[in-house]
Amino acid sequence: MDIQRIGVVGAGQMGAGIAQVAAVAGLDVVVTDVSQASLDKGEAGVAKSLGRLVKKEKITQEDADAAAARIKWTQDLQSHSDRQLVVEAVTENEELKAKIFRELDGLMPAGAILASNTSSISITRLAAATQRPEHFIGMHFMNPVPIMKLVEVIRGIATSDETFAQVKALAEKMGKITTMSRDYPGFLANRILMPMINEAFYTLMEGVGSAEDIDTTMKLGANHPMGPLTLADFIGLDTCLYIMEVLHDGLGDGKYRPCPLLRQHVDAGWLGRKTGRGVFNYND
Ligand code: NAD
């Protein structure tokens, strides 16, 4: 199956980005969301992002216009009924995602592929909510989608070789490089990244070093583009804590215990850049 028609459920940060890279790659895209405000914001965001690509001479104005015209934005989930693949990118809530997948399963053709952009929920469990677990897969894009090259492709226990090959080829058509991860908590990226961020909080809590020195050490010592605490503030400390809890619960190993100082920041509402304060203060 040569995939030409895709759907995206969720027009937020990730969904809009996925729609954009798919449309630039020449695919026909339908984006649905329950919120008209999200659809409007997503559409405006894509227009702005395409405009930036034109300014940087990465694409022509003609290509940008054609890409924007290939995306349809609607509240009607039924619009996915002729799609060959749908990527779900709604709020990280398992019940909500399972409900959407049950509905998509009922309205999409047999053989069409269902993919989730979840950062932390089991692909195998989401697939079990449908009648097509062999055509179910994880497609984990990174934020911001138009800039970040990686897509982690996650195989649930029942995902077929054919589904995997088609999704890998699709991601490559969208200009991405893929890695394959089995379906274990955190997959590859977050399984490795989040314990590092958590450890940075432990070193801060124990007074081993200052926040600035922890970040500078990893920037200059490990050649990371930003320090782990700055990165945590970008991601959102609530998201970091949630993923550590998924690793701790799912793998049952004490080494994934969320740092109490990370939890305390979240309890205080210091969630990072989005609230103006995380480890660092962004209000000044
Ligand atoms: P977001 O809050 O920006 O967008 C979520 C969207 O889902 C909103 O527009 C909301 O209106 C919509 N939505 C809620 N309920 C819905 C429903 N019933 N039907 C249709 N749409 C509905 O969130 P996001 O950052 O784009 O994250 C989306 C997914 O991507 C999550 O699973 C998240 O874990 C994953 N993810 C996020 C990042 C990141 O850095 N933000 C990175 C990788 C993966």
Query: pLDDT tens across 132-172, in order?
Result: 999 999 999 999 999 999 999 999 999 999 999 999 999 99
Tokens read off for 13: 């940060």
Q: Which of 8, 9, 14 should be mutated for ligand 1, with most atoms under 8 A from CB?
A: 14
**pLDDT per position as a tens digit, 182-234:** 999 999 999 999 999 999 999 999 999 999 999 999 999 999 999 999 999 99
User: What's the 136 CA to ligand 1 centre distance in angstroms?
Assistant: 19
Residue 180's pLDDT is 98
Q: Is 220 left (phi over 0), alpha (psi -120 to 50) or beta?
A: alpha
Residue 124's pLDDT is 98
Residue 134's pLDDT is 98
In terms of C-beta density within 10 A (0-12 exposed, 13-18 middle, 19 or more buried), how is residue 159 classed?
Answer: buried
Residue 53 clears pLDDT 80, i.e. is over it: yes
189: CB partners within 8 A, 6+ apart: 140, 142, 150, 152
Q: Which CATH architecture has domain 191-275?
A: Orthogonal Bundle (1.10)
- 280 C-beta neighbours (distance < 10 Å), count: 17
pTM of the model: 0.95
User: What's the 152 CA to ligand 1 centre distance in angstroms?
Assistant: 17
**pLDDT per position as a tens digit, 241-267:** 999 999 999 999 999 999 999 999 999
User: What's the 75 CA to ligand 1 centre distance in angstroms?
Assistant: 15
Q: Is 38 annotated in the active site?
A: no
* Residue range 173-189: mean pLDDT, rounded: 98
> Ligand 1, closest atom to CA 96?
18
User: What's the 238 CA to ligand 1 centre distance in angstroms?
Assistant: 15
Residue 127 clears pLDDT 90, i.e. is over it: yes
Residue 6: φ, ψ to 5°: -120, 160
* Residue range 85-95: mean pLDDT, rounded: 96
Residue 172's pLDDT is 98
Q: Quick one: fold of 5-182? A: Rossmann fold (3.40.50)
Residue 65 clears pLDDT 90, i.e. is over it: yes
Residue 96's pLDDT is 98
Q: Which of 117, 120, 152, 198 is catalytic?
A: 152
Give me the chain's average pLDDT, please. Answer: 97
Domain with CATH 1.10.1040.10 in the chain: 191-275
DSSP class of residue 272?
A: B
pLDDT band at 177 (very low <50, low <70, confident <90, very high): very high
Q: Which of 32, 90, 117, 119 should be mutated for ligand 1, with most atoms under 8 A from CB?
A: 90
In terms of C-beta density within 10 A (0-12 exposed, 13-18 middle, 19 or more buried), how is residue 208 classed?
Answer: exposed
Residue 112 clears pLDDT 80, i.e. is over it: yes
> Ligand 1, closest atom to CA 15?
26
Q: Is the CB of 75 under 6 A from ligand 1?
A: no
Residue 284's pLDDT is 75
- 273 C-beta neighbours (distance < 10 Å), count: 15
Q: Which of 140, 181, 198, 265 is catalytic?
A: 140
Residue 1's pLDDT is 81
Q: Is 190 annotated in the active site?
A: yes
User: What's the 11 CA to ligand 1 centre distance in angstroms?
Assistant: 7
Domain with CATH 3.40.50.720 in the chain: 5-182
56: CB partners within 8 A, 6+ apart: none
Q: Is the CB of 53 under 6 A from ligand 1?
A: no
